[in-house]
Amino acid sequence: MIPAILHYASRQSLAADLAEMVARELSDALEAHGRATLAVPGGTTPGPFLEALSQADIDWARVRVMLTDERFVPESSDRSNTRLLRQTLLRGRAAEAVLVPFYAPGETPEDVIPDLSAAVQAVLPIDVCVLGMGEDMHTASIFPGADRLAEALAPLAPVLVPMRAPGAPEPRLTLSAPVLRAAGSLHLLIAGAGKKAALERALQDGPVEDAPVRAILSAPTPVTVHYAD
Ligand SMILES: O=C1O[C@H](COP(=O)(O)O)[C@@H](O)[C@H](O)[C@H]1O
């Protein structure tokens, strides 16, 4: 399915408009189900969007917030996506939201995944999912060339998959493709010419293994891409 691509005049307007859209979708989910589950990306791009969303006037205490993926580092690391979430989204009104953890201390992600997966499973399906994408066309931490790429893409994939990839400096934990594809609404947040070119490549025909974001672009739920230079 060809996604709707929204071009914004600036990264600020993208952040504000996407936050408004996501807040509206969360309100609808709260009204329909009494609770809502939101998944958001980490990395360098989503900070302004997460800050804008933290100001939304919704009943945050009934919203469960999770990451799409995490680096296997403690929150004291500036590589921690959880740290980013606390600094940007889980503040002000949104401090009331329930954080679903994607990190626990352990030797490897495999040590902690059983406990973390149970907590994730309890709040599925995701109502609203915002994803990022790298210039290598990875999304969440589903990287081309990763050791468990096939497992993360499989229709019966577990909820959370540990991942090691040449392009990732530390081990990761990622939501699997079927969990992401089952979200009630899907948004892809990208900025900069390099990512625009990567999106154009991903929209061409080719194996999902070469461009894992294709697993999202082909989801049964229509995807909206949000882009600013
Ligand atoms: O490592 C990650 O990469 C992607 C893209 O991040 P960005 O820094 O290029 O914005 C991100 O979506 C993912 O959540 C993150 O862990």
Q: Is the dihedral of CA 197, 199, 204, 205 positive or negative?
A: positive
pLDDT at residue 2, as a whole number: 83
**CATH number of the domain to which 207 belongs:** 3.40.50.1360
Mean pLDDT throughout 154-166? 98
Residue 140 is given by DSSP the state: T
Contacts of 2 (CB under 8 A, 6+ apart): 203
164 Cα to the center of ligand 1, angstroms: 14
Looking at residue 167, its pLDDT comes to 85
From 65, 81, 130, 225, mutation site for ligand 1 pocket: most ligand atoms within 8 A of C-beta: 81
Structural tokens at position 224: 């909206």
Cα(23) to ligand 1 centroid in Å equals 22
Q: Ligand 1, from 18, 38, 40, 44: best to mutate by most atoms within 8 Å of Cβ?
A: 44
Name which of 132, 112, 91 is nearest 216 in CA terms: 132
Please give the distance, rounded to the nearest whole angstrom, from the Cα atom of residue 1 to the centre of ligand 1.
Answer: 23
Of ligand 1's atoms, which has the minimum distance to the CA of residue 168? Answer: 1
Tokens of 96: 């009331």
pLDDT digits (tens, 9 = 90+) for 41-85: 999 999 999 999 999 999 999 999 999 999 999 999 999 999 999
Which structural domain range is residue 118 located in? 4-228
Residue closest via CA to ligand 1's atom 2 equals 43
d(CA 81, CA 43): 7
How many Cβ atoms sit within 10 Å of the Cβ of residue 205?
A: 5
Structurally, how many domains does the chain consist of? 1
The residue-averaged pLDDT of 175-189 equals: 98
Q: Report the chain's mean pLDDT, rounded to a whole number.
A: 98
Helix (H, G, I), strand (E, B), or coil: what is residue 209? coil
pLDDT tens across 87-130, in order? 999 999 999 999 999 999 999 999 999 999 999 999 999 999 99
Give residue for tokens 């201390």. Answer: 105
**Which residues sit with their C-beta closer than 6 Å to ligand 1?**
41-45, 68-69, 81, 132, 134, 140-141
Q: What CA–CA distances, in Å, run from 226 to 92, 156, 222?
A: 25, 29, 13
